[in-house]
Structure 1
Amino acid sequence: MNKYITLIILLLFSATAFAQNKKKVIEYRFPTERDDSIATENYKCTYRNIYSLQQRLQFYPFNKANKILLISYDDTTVTQNTTPVKNRKLDMTQVRESLVLNDLQIDSLTKILYNVGVKSTDYWFQLADPGRKCYNPRNSVIFLNDKGRVIDYIEICFECHQDRLSSKTIKNWASCESKFELLQDYFYWTGLKIGTIRRAD
């Protein structure tokens, strides 16, 4: 009886091993230069009219803000700047430039944030930037309520292409190759020079 059991076990083991050998093995293929070129092209920013102005204004915190400010700051005595907000109050003594956005400027900002994205989702990486390790922001978008208190803010370091959101509730946006350059140009266009690092000037 034991011989039969042993034989059955051996047959089952052999059948399993055979079935495993029959599985198609997918060999890893290193990306070619053409693959890299396509991925790079697909990661480029492109404008898509995904959201109307009304839809964009419903994204938090745009839908809660009574006033939206662009600010710049640069404390040269510290190694890393931070948005000058304490206890929901903006410390204007540390703000070097500021601008209250009008309707047209809000429209332009939300277009860059939410209607500009990748050319195609067929990419497997984000382009590396060697400066991303040195985060030292000098610009922020401030959202104020009707009492002048800060609801939330978006902090941006144009030098290292990074941003930080003061709350996870803030509607995030898709990244793409030149998103930070577009935002940088936008800040510069509105008149804020500090932190925008215009290399051509």
Structure 2
Amino acid sequence: MKKLFFLFLLLAQNSVSQIEFQNGKCIRKNTFSEKERSSFFPFSEASQIKIISFKDKVKDVMPGTELIRHIESIKIGKEVFNEKLYDETATLTPEQTNQLSDIIFNFSYTKLPLEDSEVYCYNPRNAIFFLDAENHIMAYIEICFGCNKYRTSDKQFSLGDFCNEKYDMLKAIFEKSGIKYGISVIE
């Protein structure tokens, strides 16, 4: 009788795990075209998009603390992007910009996952900056690839529905652009 009970528990646990996995699958859920996506904020107003990595300069602070402070000090629409402030920078190509907007606006879960675990690490080392024609920062996404969390400069803009694979796709854009810190190297 005990063996039968344990077998039942094992099968039930496996079934729940399978359902959780199926519900949590990240897929192309929307079909916004490149033209439609380029009309969404901040892509509609950006002349170029920069991606960066940022290493804390002060010892004995939590990783990401300085990037958070720096980004919070940015005056949106007034501050000019200064490449010298960051450890690594890259400008996205039109193809990468299209890929970024596709990831943000078209990918989502098949269904909401049954379980979502909280992560408290938030130590961002990377960001995406949207710049206007005069190189003013008009929007940003601050990213912690360690815990798959982010913050944006504007409540009307987000990374869309969360799904783990979305962060892997974003990481690939950073890697292809030559950004290593926060992606494949973390000190």
| TM bracket (short chain) | 0.7 to 0.9
Letter of the 1:87 partner, please give it: K
Aligned partner of residue 50 in structure 2, secondary structure: strand
User: Does residue 149 of structure 2 align to residue 162 of structure 1?
Assistant: yes
CA distance in 2 between partners of 1:124 and 1:73 (Å): 35
Residue 144 (structure 1) shift: 0.9
User: Does residue 114 of structure 2 align to residue 124 of structure 1?
Assistant: yes
- TM-score with structure 2 setting the length: 0.78
Instruction: Write out aligned runs for 1:1-201 (5 A).
Output: 32-33=12-13, 34-48=15-29, 50-77=31-58, 78-79=61-62, 80-82=65-67, 84-85=70-71, 86-88=74-76, 89=79, 90-118=81-109, 120-121=110-111, 123-126=113-116, 128=117, 132-197=119-184
Give yes or no for contact 1:139–1:157 (8 Å, CA) kept in 2. yes
| Count of residue pairs the alignment pairs up | 164
Aligned partner of residue 66 in structure 2, secondary structure: coil
Structure 2 unmatched runs, 5+: 1-11
Q: What is aligned with 2:6?
A: none
Aligned partner of residue 108 in structure 2, secondary structure: strand
Greater RCO, CA 8 A, separation 6+? 2
CA distance in 1 between partners of 2:66 and 2:115 (Å): 29
CA RMSD of aligned residues (A): 2.1
Residue 142 (structure 1) shift: 0.2
Query: Going by fraction, where is helix more abundant, 1 or 2?
Result: 2
- Percent sequence identity over aligned pairs: 29
CA distance in 2 between partners of 1:94 and 1:140 (Å): 12
Q: What do residues 77-99 of structure 1 show as CA deviations (whole Å, max 9, x unaligned)?
A: 23223254433423433211111
CA distance in 1 between partners of 2:130 and 2:154 (Å): 12
CA distance in 1 between partners of 2:48 and 2:158 (Å): 17
CA distance in 1 between partners of 2:48 and 2:94 (Å): 10
CA distance in 1 between partners of 2:121 and 2:158 (Å): 25
State which drifts further: 58-67 or 36-45. Answer: 36-45
Residue 146 (structure 1) shift: 1.5
CA gap of 1:179–1:103, structure 2 versus 1, over 3 A, is: same
Q: What do residues 48-88 of structure 1 show as CA deviations (whole Å, max 9, x unaligned)?
A: 45111011111111111111111111114232232544334
Q: What is aligned with 1:26?
A: none
CA distance in 1 between partners of 2:112 and 2:56 (Å): 41
State which drifts further: 85-94 or 144-153. Answer: 85-94
Question: Greater CA radius of gyration, 1 or 2?
Answer: 1
CA gap of 1:157–1:81, structure 2 versus 1, over 3 A, is: farther
